[in-house]
Amino acid sequence: MAQTYKMYINGEWIDSDSGETFTRLNPATLETIGEFQKGDEKDIDKAVDVAEDAFEIWSEMPAPKRGEILFKIAQLLQKNKEELAKIVTIEMGKVLMEARGDVQEAIDMTFLMAGEGRRLFGKTTTSELKDKFAMATRRPLGVVGLITPWNFPIAIPSWKIMPALICGNTVVFKPSSNTPLCAIKFVEILEKAGIPKGVINLVTGPGSTAGMHLVGHKKVRGISFTGHRDTGAEILRIAGIKKVGLELGGKNPIIIMDDADLNLALDGVIWGGYGTTGQRCTAASRVIIHEKIKNKFEKMLVERIKKLKLGNGLYAKTDIGPLVNQAAQDKSKSYVDIGLKESAKLLIGGHIPKIKGYFFEPTLFSNCSIDMRIAQEEIFGPVVSLITTKNLNEAIEIANSVEYGLSSAIYTNNIRNAFKAIEKLEAGITYVNASTVGAEVHLPFGGVKYSGTAREGGWAAIEEFSELKTVYFDYSGKLQKAQIDID
């Protein structure tokens, strides 16, 4: 019999108000992982209320002391890295090597934000008046609602929770219903590290009810969401006047110029297009290839794809794990059908293999045009489109032709090409001679256009989860009127 897990509110593991649960399956084996609480609006109300009550104590705790708790969390994440990685693989499917990276990212982010407890920099500046001091300090927002996706079920929660906590906010955490166990294990570590009651609260359940109620809650002063673009647009409509940060996906290009190291580019395309089974917002689903090397690179890529092995991510020989669920598998198949109808050339893959689990063959289309749906829309599966270009200007035009602008990459040995791409590519991130995936936690992460509004990671994360208060000290001993009394 499958274990039934609980939610975490006010320092206690409890059932949902409705008493209802939902089932989560292992996408590789279709075995039941467990039963999870189907939280609703009443559970969100309860979590927000206790987070509001806890805010005063937590925000008044000196930030270095908050940092000490985060250091303990980071150490516990290190200690439990392998166990957490296996849970990531079991629950969402990515291969164990990548799952370890998922947890390591959380470790790195937590250590980074723990150190921010001794910074949280504001600014001091000069005043236009005599005997007057001016500065800006950082203050927490209050109660924040954090809504996270399933594809990085340990890393992305850490990108939101840790900066929120170090800034002095209290948290209501609503994870994806595809990865509730990862969220539970993550919060268990925070509890073990000594996080005070009410500071972190976990509600599992549907995004359409629990999630959207959190978004619109009047006591919630900030929302951070990573997920689908359409959901992000709905969040903006519902949120009201509060701080909202959105990370909403991408249709990321890798440009390969005729002077590129093709073996290096090949590694980047395989990793970017098929790593995590294409289930990354930074996945490289478009390869924009110079016409002079197109045929050669195409053959190299097909031969490499043939060697990729599908299977359970816990097995050492597996290169590509399953998609997260049946809907994702059906979506990948539907886009293959769309590509064929659009007259793209299917070079390899395109089928659901006859094995148990939500697997899909790594797929490559060639002879794609800029206006094809497979070259415009985010698929979130192992489907890559090759688009031919004559020169760098055209390559950049193709790269910028989509509504998204998250990550981008160029492979070239020409420094002029590299710097022109950095300047002209409409993306929040540009890699030179590396693939579009991977982020270092001390640098900002985020996109432009329909890829969202947020910048997470590094100093930008502190800005996302705090607000500035401007402070003036007038020690002149008289009433001074700015812009009026200046002598």
Asked whether the predicted pLDDT for residue 154 surpasses 70, the reply is: yes
* Global pTM value: 0.97
487: confidence class by pLDDT, cuts 50, 70, 90: low
Question: In the predicted model, what is the mean pLDDT of residues 346-367?
Answer: 98
225 and 347 together in one domain: no
Q: Which domain holds residue 458?
A: 7-248+452-471
Report the greatest alpha carbon distance in the chain. 84
Please indicate, yes or no, whether residues 264 and 236 belong to a single structural domain of this protein.
no
pLDDT-based confidence at residue 484 (cuts at 50, 70, 90): confident
Q: What percent of the chain has pLDDT over 70?
A: 99
Percent of the chain with pLDDT over 90: 98
Q: Is residue 307 part of a domain?
A: yes
Specify whether 58 is located in the same domain as 181: yes
182-201: per-residue pLDDT in tens?
Answer: 999 999 999 999 999 999 99
Residue 148 lies in a domain: yes
Strands (E), 1-86: 7-9, 12-14, 21-25, 32-37
- Same-domain pairing of 72 and 215: yes
Tell me if 456 sits within 8 A of 464, measured CB to CB. yes
In a domain, 440, yes or no: no
Going by C-beta distance under 8 Å and a sequence separation of 6 or more, which residues neighbour residue 308?
270, 274, 319, 320, 362
CATH number at residue 319: 3.40.309.10
For residue 442, being part of any structural domain is answered with no
Q: Let me know whether 46 and 162 are in one domain.
A: yes
Answer whether residue 46 is part of any domain. yes
Please indicate, yes or no, whether residues 167 and 308 belong to a single structural domain of this protein: no
Same domain, 274 and 187: no
CATH of the domain at 171: 3.40.605.10
Residue 237 reports pLDDT greater than 90: yes
Mean pLDDT of the chain: 97
- pLDDT band, residue 437 (cuts 50/70/90): confident
Same domain as 31, residue 174: yes
On whether residue 437 sits in a domain, the answer given is no
Let me know whether 181 and 270 are in one domain.
no
**Local confidence band at 485 (pLDDT 50, 70, 90 cut-offs):** low
* DSSP assignment of 419-471: HHHHHH--SSEEEESS-S----TTS-B--EETTBS--BSHHHHHHHTEEEEEE
Position 486 confidence tier, pLDDT thresholds 50, 70, 90: low
Task: Clarify whether residues 334 and 351 are in a common domain.
Answer: yes
The 10s digit of each residue's pLDDT in 357-397 is: 999 999 999 999 999 999 999 999 999 999 999 999 999 99
- Residue at 356 is within a domain: yes
Question: Which residues are tagged catalytic?
Answer: 247, 281
Total number of domains constituting the chain: 2
Mean local confidence (pLDDT), 279-299: 98
Do 427 and 324 reside in the same domain of the chain? Answer: yes
Same domain for 193 and 315, yes or no, is: no
Residue 239 has pLDDT above 70, yes or no: yes
* Least confident span in 107-111, 318-322, 438-442: 438-442
- Stretch 211-239: mean pLDDT: 98
